[in-house]
Structures are given as structure tokens and as C-alpha cells.
Amino acid sequence: MNIREITKDVYYVGVNDRTLDRFEGLWPLPYGVSYNSYIVKGSNKTALIDTVEIGSIRDLFHSIMSQIGGDKIDYLVINHMEPDHSGGINAVLAAYPDAKLIGNKQTIAMVKGYYHISDDRFLEITDGDTIDLGGKTLRFVLTPMVHWPETMMTYIEEDGIIFSGDAFGTFGALNGGIVDDEMDTGWYKDEMYRYYSNIVGKYGRFVQKALAKTSNLDIKYICSTHGPVWHSKIGEVVEIYDKLSKYESEPGVTIIYGSMYGNTAEVAEEIARQLAARGVRNIKIHNAAKSNLSYMISDAFRYEGLIVGSPTYSMHIFPPVEQFMIAMETREFKNKVLATFGSFSWASAAHKQLKDYALKSKIDVVASLEMKHSAGSDTFTQVAHLADKVVEALKLK
């Protein structure tokens, strides 16, 4: 059995990267990441769908050789230009000198800008165009801003396979299996939340457009650029992407706080206990100075409630908490039960600034409290009130 063969004459030729420390130079990769490429072999022509990050080119060629040997590649389809997928363009075009690069107008402009390829190597397509490889018809579906302006998907009509670019992708390298039936996919769910919220999170409305545009296709396999090929779990992953792109979340509360000497932390811990006492079960607490931003964003997207607290630090929000708020504002966060808490020693500033972020993002703050110096009985009374308000708002969701 060839585990790389997804359906007849469609092969996985992607690679694993277990060396890179941070994706996009920012996001931790504790379980690695895969850059997925695929070969589609028709009776007349062969196409390679996307390439890999530049440091993994040797592995890409080994994968290609293992599946088609010295057969030539006629087309290189570039669904997405981000360098984790386009890094092999020059090498592939050099290895297959007759191959044409297929892309839309925006792709081609970007390829020229990044890789300085001559005009005669391109075959420009527009939305809905098809190319027949001989028993394998590739149809191109433009899906801009999932996750760059040029992004598109490629659908094989005869096989019901869609090469979806970053959509339905996840962090986490492939550990042997390629199609979801060949592995235990449970742990990918957490990594999918993190991947979506970190990388694609800002583009929810474009993901919704792409989902609508592809909803009439008969899709049996989703071949994204990162993570497993989805087959038996298509329903689950489409639901995750659909919900996240509508900013819908799961029951639970994320608490993000900063604290210099433990006083603001004490409030965060008490809020969590009061929520738990009122029946909230999924509570994630992050000390923003210690937790990685990637995981804070992921939990904030995943759970319905978000409570953010900061001491006043040189008349500003404590810097790691502000970094989190900027990240959420950038991702146009909405549809949250939001509460805030702040503290100060002689002049109050952080708490108002936290609420200003909510105002800018047009999110109501359902409850807030501010503490001077350290927690006293009045603080705990306010915490109980805040917990009441948050639980009440969560019940209305």
C-alpha cells in the first residue's frame, strides 16, 4: 500500500518541518508543522499543487521522486503565495524547464515580485477556469484573503478533492499517516484553534465567503497546506472553521492578566474561583508575562467569555497585556462576553485604557472593577458582582 496515494493518481508529496522554532517568526511550533504539496497525474499531463518552505526543498524533491520518479511535471499550481508554500518555485521551475506556473493575476504579480520569473513561464487563469490533465479536471476557485489577496483553491472534479490552501489547516507535523483515517486526530483540534486564530483570525468574513462559494461542490477530500488530509472528519473541521470565522465560541472563560507583585494576580485567581463556584467549567488563566501570546489568542477565540486585567504600569496597560489587546483588536474580535479589571498604586490609567480597546472594537464590557493597592473585602465583593454579571451574560449566549 502506498500511504501517499490519496486517491488514484493523486499523491501527497509534502514535507514535515520539526526544526523551525516559530512559524512566521512568531508562533511556537511544539509539534512541528507540515508544508503540504500534492501531485495530480492525469493521462496526458501532471500537476504539482503548491511547493514548500525554502529550507525543505530537498525533502520536496525526494517526495516527488518517490511518487513519479523521473516523469515530468507540466504545471505548477500556486494556490497561495506565502513563502511557506512558494519557497520552492524557483527550484521546481528549474528542475522542470517546460513546466508552466498556473496562478491568477494577483499570484503572478506576486511571483514576479518575490522570485523574478520571466513572463513565458506563466499560465494565467481566472475564477472558474478549468484545465484537463486527462481524466483529471482541475477547476480553480478564487478565494481572496484566505489568507492573502491572491489565495485560491483547486478542485479535482472527478475525485471530489479540493486543495484548499491555508483553509482547514492546522499546526502539527504529520506523524506517519496523511489522511485523517490513518491517525488519531484528537490533538490536532487544539492546534487547529491556535492555527486559525493566530494566522487566519483576522479574515473571518473572507473564510465565510469561501465556505459559501465552495458549498455546492461535492467534496470528499480536503487537502490543505498544513496538517492532515481531511476525509472522514470533513464535517468536524468545516464546523470549526465555520464557527471560528463567525466569531462563535465554546462555553468557557479565558482570563488574561498581568501582575508585578501578585496583587492583580490575586484578583484573577479569585475571579476564576467565583466563576467555578457559579458553574463555569472551562476556565483558562494566562499570566500574560509568562504565557505565549499564541496560546492566549487561541483560548480567547475558543471560549465565550474573556476577562482581562492589568495593573497601571507607567501610566499604561502592563505591556504584555497590551500586546494581547492589540492582537485581539487586529483580529477584529467580537461576540465576546467581556469583563475587565484594573489596579493602580497612586494614579489610575490601565483600566480605562483596557475599556478603550473594548470601545474601539465595539464590544460591551459586561462588568469591571478597579482596585487600589491590594485586595480587601470590598474587592472580593466586587469580584463576586463581576462573576454574577459574567455568568448572567454567558447564559444569554
Q: Summarize as ranges the residues that interact with ligand FEO (CB under 6 A).
A: 80, 82, 84-85, 147, 166, 225-226
Distance of closest approach, residue 2 Cβ to ligand FEO, in angstroms = 26
Our CB check for ligand FEO shows the closer of 33 and 64 to be 33
Min separation Cβ 51 and ligand FEO, Å: 11
**C-beta of 89 vs 391, nearer to ligand FEO:** 89
Q: Which is nearer to ligand FEO, 166 or 304 (CB)?
A: 166
Residue 257 or 301: the one with the smaller Cβ distance to ligand FEO is 301
Min. distance of Cβ 362 from ligand FEO in angstroms?
A: 27
Tell the burial category of 325 from Cβ atoms under 10 Å away from its Cβ (0-12, 13-18, 19+): buried
The least distance separating ligand FEO from the CB of residue 198, rounded to whole angstroms, comes to: 11
Beta strands in 42-124 (DSSP E): 46-49, 75-77, 100-103, 122-124
Cβ(300)–Cβ(197) below 8 Å: yes
Q: Which is nearer to ligand FEO, 100 or 226 (CB)?
A: 226
Those residues whose C-beta lies under 8 Å from the C-beta of residue 128, and which sit 6 or more positions away, are: 139, 140, 141
CB atoms within 10 A of CB 214: 18
End-to-end Cα spacing for the chain = 49
Cβ of residue 211: shortest distance to ligand FEO, in angstroms? 17
Q: Which is nearer to ligand FEO, 24 or 132 (CB)?
A: 24
Q: Which three cell numbers stand for residue 30?
A: 511544539
Name which of 225 and 254 has its Cβ closer to ligand FEO: 225
Q: Least CB distance from residue 143 to ligand FEO, whole Å? A: 12
**Could you tell me the CA-to-CA distances from 117 to 58, 91, 331 in Å, in that order?**
21, 11, 34
Please name every residue paired with 223 in a beta bridge, in sequence order, or none if there are none: 163
Task: Return the number of the residue (9 or 53) whose C-beta is nearest ligand FEO.
Answer: 53
Residue 222 three-state SS: strand
For residue 113, the Cα-to-chain-centroid distance in whole angstroms is 25
C-alpha span between 209 and 204 (Å, rounded): 9
Taking the C-alpha atoms of residue 228 and residue 180, their distance in angstroms, rounded to an integer, is: 6
Which residue reads 483558562 in cell numbers? 284
Which residue number has the CB closest to ligand FEO? Answer: 82
Q: Tell me the three cell numbers of residue 69.
A: 520518479
Q: How far is the CB of 34 from ligand FEO (least distance, A)?
A: 10
Question: How near is the Cβ of 110 to ligand FEO at its closest, in Å?
Answer: 12
